[in-house]
Chain A
């Protein structure tokens, strides 16, 4: 009788712990296959490595991270137990919303808040949306993981270290720029923590997503 999948629990934004009622196979010997995707915004398979915490516990590392406060579903897909029998099943879990600042007032110091406010105002008027990449982007990748795509258009171009890239979508989870390719056929990798600046001249007015309620008709 195959081992049963009991459930999944998110430890943080990068770790998910899976529990089973009996021993599972060693990841070093048998590749594990499963998919993880957010419930709210469709299928999103993310890169994952698994570590055998004990014979019945598996800790999955989600390298690209998950969105805090979001519900995800993990589905066993060709996962096997110690006897080589297939384990099937799925479970949903909610990623903890850690680093929560629950205060009624602005959480920063007064000067920091002022400089941030000035900077954000100037950014909005100057049209230079800026974010930071959170995961290495290699030449053959399609999606670039960033901190935020808040207010970004659904297509356009951006600069990283003076190099221009085009993109054809933004992720519903607010953390990805989709279908990225380098301009002028340059194949260039983007290391994590790179500054990503929107090329405002590449954007058509209709490509912006209304992100403030006041902008709705």
Chain B
């Protein structure tokens, strides 16, 4: 929704373009203009339509899919886990801006280049009758890679958004856009992290390596208990 007064011709190749977003759209001489879609604009993503509650392992690495009826943009999104009771961030925002995105492979078999490993994207919506073929619409699934997090209950914070920098007056280029992720949505208690499983096969594989290789415990009895000392 672009807000009351938005031109309805939808001459909008993408949501990032410099267009009139309607009554209330911010027009300012401030060199940094925060994208505001005008009066009545609301974040497209409604938390109530997020369809998940998941239990995941503490050692990370899982590719997590977040399904919604619609996402506002294809991306990039920033995804962060917040400990529900303590408010602690994972990953720590001082270390990394968010969870990493899974690698995407092109049809040619090559890994798709990306602007940042922390920018996550949705899938692409298949075209249906009436869709503008020149617009890439977001699909329903946003994916990210679960970071290493201790067991507990976590809120999922997904943020997105851009800033527009007007070009110099003499410049005919379009507005300069940067991603500032100023719009955020929180899904509370979305993810429960518990300890990982063990694996018999893991120990068998390790026992095949020379002993001076650092492969970790080769027997279950040699493993460090996950639940801490005294167990």
Tell me whether B213 is interfacial, beta carbon within 8 Å. Answer: yes
Tell me whether B194 is interfacial, beta carbon within 8 Å. Answer: yes
Q: What is the chain A residue whose CB lies nearest that of B142?
A: A213
Please pick, from A130, A195, A216, the residue contacting B67 in the complex, using a CB distance under 8 A: A216
Please pick, from A98, A120, A147, A149, the residue contacting B225 in the complex, using a CB distance under 8 A: A147
Tell me whether A37 is interfacial, beta carbon within 8 Å. Answer: no
Tell me whether A119 is interfacial, beta carbon within 8 Å. Answer: yes
| Shortest Cβ distance from residue B200 to the other chain A in the assembled complex, whole angstroms | 6
Inter-chain contacts of A149 with B (CB < 8 A): 194
Tell me whether A45 is interfacial, beta carbon within 8 Å. Answer: no
**How many of chain B's residues have a CB under 8 angstroms from any CB in A?**
61
| Residues 91-116 (chain A) with a chain B CB within 8 angstroms | 94, 97-104, 106-109, 111-112, 115-116
Given A130-B198, A130-B199; A65-B52 close (CB under 8 Å): no
| Residues 137-164 (chain A) with a chain B CB within 8 angstroms | 147-151
| Residues 209-225 (chain B) with a chain A CB within 8 angstroms | 209, 213-216, 220-221, 223, 225
On whether the beta carbons of A104 and B96 are closer than 8 Å, the reply is yes
| Shortest Cβ distance from residue A65 to the other chain B in the assembled complex, whole angstroms | 6
Q: CA–CA, A120 to B196, complex, Å?
A: 10
Contact with B along A35-53 (1 / 0, CB 8 A): 0000010000000000000
Q: CA–CA, A69 to B149, complex, Å?
A: 10
Q: CA–CA, A30 to B59, complex, Å?
A: 44
Please pick, from A14, A69, A103, the residue contacting B152 in the complex, using a CB distance under 8 A: A69
Q: What is the chain B residue whose CB lies nearest that of A194?
A: B220
Inter-chain contacts of B215 with A (CB < 8 A): 111-112, 115
Inter-chain contacts of A100 with B (CB < 8 A): 150
On whether the beta carbons of A13 and B91 are closer than 8 Å, the reply is no
Contact with A along B72-96 (1 / 0, CB 8 A): 0000000000010110101110011
Inter-chain contacts of A75 with B (CB < 8 A): none
Please pick, from B147, B195, B213, B226, the residue contacting A104 in the complex, using a CB distance under 8 A: B147
| Shortest Cβ distance from residue B62 to the other chain A in the assembled complex, whole angstroms | 7
Tell me whether A132 is interfacial, beta carbon within 8 Å. Answer: yes
Tell me whether A17 is interfacial, beta carbon within 8 Å. Answer: no
The residues of B with any CB-CB pair to A shorter than 8 Å are 51-52, 54-57, 59-67, 83, 85-86, 88, 90-92, 95-96, 100, 147-148, 150-153, 189, 192-206, 209, 213-216, 220-221, 223, 225-228, 230-231
Q: Supply 8 A–B pairs (Cβ within 8 Å), ascending by A.
A: A40-B153, A67-B194, A100-B150, A101-B148, A116-B216, A147-B195, A214-B64, A216-B67
